Amino acid sequence: MDVKYINPFLTATINVIKTMAFLDPKPGKPFIKKESKALGDVSGVIGLSGDLKGSLSITFEEDTIKHIVSNMFGEDINEINDEVRDAVGELTNMISGDARRQLQSFGVKIDAAIPSIITGKNHTITHIAKGPIVALPFDTEKGKFIVEFTMEKTK
C-alpha cells in the first residue's frame, strides 16, 4: 500500500472529530504492521471497495467515546447506549467519506459499505489483509483512540 494514502485518513479523522465534537485529537506516530490488533471498548468498522479493497476501523476507550459523544450532543453521556452506537456510526461514515474524497484526488475511487459498531470491554479488531495495516493512534484529554485501515488491490 502506498504511504501517500495515510494522510487522507489522518486528516479526515482530525477534521471530523474537531468538527463534530469540538476536540483537537493529538495524533501519535503512525505505525505499520502486518498484524495489528486494536484493543478497546467501542469500535466502528466499515468496508471499503472499488479501485482498492480494504477496511477501516476506529476503536475507542470507553471514557474517550463518552467524552466525544457528550461533546457532540451537548449533554453528559454516562453509558454506552444506542445513541453512542449511532454516533460512532456517524463518525465512522464521515471519516471514511472525508478520506475517500481525498483519495479521489489521487485518482483512487473507493466506495464505502455501511458501518458496523462493536461494543464490549477490551475487544480486539483484526483486519484480515494481505498487505500492511496502518495504525493511527490519537490522544484526547480524556483518553485514547486508534484508527486502523488497510487497502489492497482487487483481484
Q: Report long-range pairs for 100-107 (Cβ below 8 Å, ≥24 apart).
A: 100/8, 100/48, 102/7, 102/8, 102/11, 102/12, 103/5, 103/8, 106/4, 106/5
Q: Hey, what's the torsion of the CAs at 57, 87, 140, 113, to 10 degrees?
A: 20
- 127: contact with a copy of itself by CB under 8 A: yes
- 79: contact with a copy of itself by CB under 8 A: no
- Residue 41, all three cell numbers: 471498548
Distance from C-alpha of 89 to C-alpha of 4, rounded to nearest angstrom: 26
Contacts of 133 (CB under 8 A, 6+ apart): 32, 33, 34, 35, 36, 127, 148, 149, 150
Q: In angstroms, what is the minimal distance from the CB of 149 to a copy of itself? A: 10
Site string for a copy of itself, 83-122 (x = CB under 8 A): --xx--xx-xx-----------------xxxxxxxxxxxx
**Residues 14-53 within binding reach of a copy of itself (CB under 8 A):** 35, 43, 45-50, 53
Closer CB to a copy of itself, 67 or 100, in the complex = 100
Considering only residues 4, 124, 139, 141, which one is a binding residue for a copy of itself as defined by CB under 8 A? 124
Q: In angstroms, what is the minimal distance from the CB of 7 to a copy of itself? A: 21
- 72: contact with a copy of itself by CB under 8 A: no
- The residues that touch a copy of itself, with contacts defined as CB under 8 A, are 35, 43, 45-50, 53-55, 57, 82, 85-86, 89-90, 92-93, 111-129, 150, 152, 154
